[in-house]
Amino acid sequence: MRTDDLVTMLATGAGAVQPNQAARRYATALGCGALGAALLMATLLGPRPDLAAAFLQPMFWVKLAFVASFATASLFAALRLSRPGQRLAWVPGVLSAPVLAIWLLAAIVLARAEPAQRAALFFGDTWNSCPFLITTLSAPAFFAVVWAMQGLAPTRLRLAGAAAGLLSGAVGTLLYSLHCPEMDAPFIGFWYLLGMLIPTTLGALLGPRLLRW
Amino acid sequence: MLVASRLNAGEQRLRDLLLRGLAGDEPAYRAFLQELSAHLRAFLRRRLVRLPDEVEDLVQESLLAVHNQRHTYDVGQPLTAWIHAIAKYKLVDLLRRRSRQDVLTDPLDDELDLACAAETEAADARRDLGKLLLQLPERQRLPIVHMKLEGLSVAETARLTGMSESAVKVGVHRGLKALAAIIRGDK
């Protein structure tokens, strides 16, 4: 087939294209991913028994704000990496801001605490299950976000896969934080982050295979 | 400065054609693809100096990619950045594919490439997309043949094939994506 014939073939009956498809795909993916994570959390773990009391504690909202801002930043990263030729620009900055903020808070908490208490602030009661439960809860969002990306056109597949993993990790963590009893910044700044980095690593490994087009 | 403004004018024109095309203006979209293929040919020829007879195949593959992913163009984005990212992605994919094949082929290939280079200035594509089309399943091939090659409408194609109108549209869409997958060797 000559190139001119291909051009004619592609143009014939091409029709109009729905605008905002990226936003729509991501809205669907995040909705399904969050719903899946909520169902997993409710059936496997259940919300913490004192959830109503936790709503009154500032640290609960700090924790939620950290995860939510991280989720927003990774959504920006994923959206940009889903389209050809988009620069990352300020994405690294936006991603690191919530991390630096929680680390700063953690440093202050640790500095003020009695030396004997520091280990308890860092390890909490659940450090050995937290990252793996977060990874489990992020699975539905991971598949959903990869689906969203497959309908778009990422060109840097490893980075795009990592962004999909990070976003799904943040969604999973958001739901996990309704179950998790830990409220200390040193715990959150390390173990939550580690939990989100596991799906990120998986995404970076699988990206080139899952996202080719 | 003059060169820059001329480039901008060219990009502006191409972008207008694309935006009109995305809104459903078929002649504008055809003109966009037509101009784009010349642009892609120059872009890829510069980057495939050692593989001149791959250029036209890659132009066609990139055109198909631009068409299949045209919904990912962001109105606020420079068109050149979008186009070049797609073309480079397909270029890297081709080189990766070839480096895998080169392990299996004999080194004589290089000399053959040189011999062909002089006479194939305005080379045709070596790969025949028309033949690849035959590999698609019927529910994708028939809508493409009737709508995209014979120029029938969705309704006419639906009547002719006994498929529903939405199945016809889906068939075209999935068929062109499957064509891209066949080219890159996934299927």
Residue pair A120/A180 in contact (Cβ under 8 Å)? The answer is no
Which residue's structure tokens are 């290089």? Answer: B110
In a domain, A2, yes or no: no
Selected residue of B34, B37, B41, B72 to mutate for chain A interface (largest A Cβ count, 10 A)? B72
Q: What is the ipTM of this complex?
A: 0.89
Tokens of B130: 């028309």
Tokens of A118: 């520091």
SS3 A85: coil
In a domain, A60, yes or no: no
What would the pLDDT profile of B103-124 be if each residue is shown by its tens digit?
655 544 444 444 444 443 445 7
User: Do A3 and B125 count as a contact with CB atoms less than 8 A apart?
Assistant: yes
In a domain, A1, yes or no: no
SS3 A128: coil
Residue A173: left if φ>0, alpha if ψ -120 to 50, beta else—which one?
Answer: alpha
Boundaries of domain holding A193: 21-45+67-210
Selected residue of B43, B82, B88, B89 to mutate for chain A interface (largest A Cβ count, 10 A)? B89
Residue A92 has pLDDT above 80, yes or no: yes
SS3 B69: coil
In a domain, A148, yes or no: yes
Of B29, B71, B78, the CB nearest to A18: B71
Question: What DSSP assignment string belongs to B60-103?
Answer: HHHHHHHHHTGGG--TTS-HHHHHHHHHHHHHHHHHHHHHHHHT
In a domain, A9, yes or no: no
User: A11-15, A102-106, A130-134: which range is least confident on average?
Assistant: A11-15
In a domain, A95, yes or no: yes
What CA–CA distance (Å, rounded) separates B163 from B67?
24
In a domain, A57, yes or no: no
Q: What is the mean pLDDT of chain A?
A: 94
In a domain, A50, yes or no: no
What would the pLDDT profile of A96-123 be if each residue is shown by its tens digit?
999 999 999 999 999 999 998 999 999 9
The upper half-sphere exposure of residue A83, i.e. CA atoms within 13 Å in the direction of its Cβ, equals 26
Of A7, A15, A19, the CB nearest to B34: A7
State pTM to two decimals. 0.89
Widest CA span in chain B: 58
Tokens of A130: 């937290």
What CA–CA distance (Å, rounded) separates B165 from B145?
15
- Which of B26, B9, B97 lies closest to B61 in space, CA to CA? B97
The per-residue pLDDT for B115 is 43
Q: What is the mean pLDDT of chain B?
A: 85
Residue A186 vs residues A50, A139, B9, B23, B67: alpha-carbon distances, Å: 21, 25, 55, 52, 49
Number of domains into which chain A is organized: 1
What would the pLDDT profile of A159-190 be if each residue is shown by its tens digit?
999 999 999 999 999 999 999 989 999 999 99
Q: Which domains occur in chain B, in start order? A: 1-126 (1.10.1740.10), 128-187 (1.10.10.10)
